[in-house]
Amino acid sequence: MACHVWRERPVKWLQKRRPTAKPDPAARNTPLAGLRVLELARVLAGPWVGQTLADLGAEVIKIESPEGDGTRQWGPPWVEREDGAREAAYYHACNRGKRSIVADFNDAGDCAGVHHLCEQADVIIENFKPGTLAQWMLDYDSVSYSNPGVIYCSITGFGQDGPRRNEPGYDFVVQAMSGMMSITGEPDGEPMKMGISISDLTCGLYSTIAVQSALLMRERTGRGQHIDMSLLDCSVSLLANQAASYFASGENPARKGNAHAQVVPYGVFEVSDGAVVLAPANDKLFKALMRVLERHDLAEDARLAANEGRIEHRDWLEAEIAREVKEWTKDALLRHCQQAGVPAGPINNLDEVFADPQIQARGMKLDLPGGLSGLRSPFRFSDAEMDVGKPSPRIGQHQDKWDFSS
């Protein structure tokens, strides 16, 4: 159902407001205080943009269908609020600090309310298939007619053009198509995806950069614009040095497990009580590691003086190192590597991550109102604060409380 009469329809839950949002007094020293963001997105990539902007102080209004963002039901595990209400932990990973309003685009009154919000938004984030929002006049061309300064960010699987533009985008599929999986996994094993939704998250981060860049450009030109972000584009962009190697050689990079194609030694090594990562990535660090292991013969071996020689003798050299480190305990080896300046680290489970004194010192885990927890966005500013104290909203939590007349 197209929303053709939105300008004349009464809006019960919304009054038209002035273009610039009044900053929340508690968020005025945040980088994006006063910025109004309308999020017409669900699942992960789009909401990740909204959460990042909210953490930076923007006022983010999440528009949900009557059924709500589907990730609210992606459990277990579940997160219970103090009043017994629960949502999936997944939902809370990417919706902190937002307001929630429910709107049915097929209801003329609700559609009118969303249009009024679009008129007053600085940024709109959406992740519908290309062309879908045009039926409600919520596409960029329609919205920018009444709000020419809007920064409108569309996130899709494959972009607004090309032969796959109308196909849905799923992280797993995009990891496969982008080439990521072909270079991830053991050499004799099957291609592997990453343990996080890297395509969604990367697209969310790139989209955040694009939004902020377009806002800065608007300061110069006074004009908004449409941003076209694709999960596949963003994932292909991460191929980085692997793509450069392919361009230079014409050969497909092989899966190397935890090894590095261009650096030796570099990988996971078994110690007497577990495993560690060793990453001496240059000639100086290689010699430092050999001194830690008291293998001065290897440190002075002319064949191993340069990385190219170490690559040539990879199998033999890594077998020598593996035999040496097997006699060490994890704590002892990591302590000696730290003292020698050799990059090395434990392979932590998540309980170990959040018990790590460095992670605790940096405050990466947030304790939020209502007994909820979350991850802090990793920004640190010398003269600005983050707005990270608000939990994810309940569905429709701000339907009646939001004051749009101020």
Instruction: List the CATH number of the domain containing 84.
Output: 3.40.50.10540
CA distance 315 to 305: 16
Q: Tell whether the model's pLDDT for residue 17 goes beyond 50.
A: no
Q: Which of 282, 279, 278 is nearest to 304 (CA)?
A: 282
Give the phi and the psi of residue 228 in degrees, each rounded to 5. Answer: -110, 105
Out of 329, 348, 367, pick the residue that ends a domain. 348
378-405 pLDDT, tens per residue?
Answer: 999 999 999 998 999 999 989 876 543 3
48-59 pLDDT, tens per residue?
Answer: 999 999 999 999
Examine residue 185 and state whether it is found in any structural domain, yes or no: yes
Examine the domain organization and report whether 115 and 219 are in the same domain: yes
The predicted structure's pLDDT at residue 7? 43
Examine the domain organization and report whether 203 and 64 are in the same domain: yes
Of the pLDDT bands very low, low, confident and very high (cuts 50, 70, 90), residue 261 is: confident
Q: Which candidate in 69, 110, 171, 200 is catalytic?
A: 200
Q: Tell whether the model's pLDDT for residue 360 goes beyond 50.
A: yes
**How many domains does the chain divide into?**
2
Examine residue 375 and state whether it is found in any structural domain, yes or no: no
Examine residue 256 and state whether it is found in any structural domain, yes or no: no
Examine the domain organization and report whether 297 and 172 are in the same domain: no
308-338 pLDDT, tens per residue?
Answer: 999 999 999 999 999 999 999 999 999 999 9
Examine residue 3 and state whether it is found in any structural domain, yes or no: no
Helix ranges (DSSP H) in 64-170: 89-92, 108-120, 140-146
Examine residue 70 and state whether it is found in any structural domain, yes or no: yes
Examine the domain organization and report whether 189 and 317 are in the same domain: no
Q: SS3 of 357, please?
A: helix
Give Dmax (Cα) for the chain.
84
> What does the mean pLDDT of the chain come to?
90
Out of 348, 369, 401, pick the residue that ends a domain. 348
Examine the domain organization and report whether 201 and 81 are in the same domain: yes
Q: Tell whether the model's pLDDT for residue 4 goes beyond 80.
A: no
Examine residue 297 and state whether it is found in any structural domain, yes or no: yes
Q: SS3 of 185, please?
A: coil
Examine the domain organization and report whether 184 and 298 are in the same domain: no
The predicted structure's pLDDT at residue 262? 86
Examine the domain organization and report whether 152 and 272 are in the same domain: no
Catalytic residue list contains 107: no
Examine the domain organization and report whether 86 and 127 are in the same domain: yes
CATH number at residue 284: 3.30.1540.10
**What does DSSP assign to residue 184?**
S
Mean pLDDT of 31-44: 96
Q: Which residues 6+ apart lie within 8 Å of 229 measured at CB?
A: 153, 154, 155, 156, 159, 203, 206, 207, 210
Q: Which domain holds residue 302?
A: 267-348
The predicted structure's pLDDT at residue 397? 87
CA 397 remoteness from chain centre: 25
HSE-up of 80 (CA within 13 Å, CB side)?
A: 3
Q: Evaluate whether 121 touches 38 at the Cβ level (below 8 Å).
A: yes
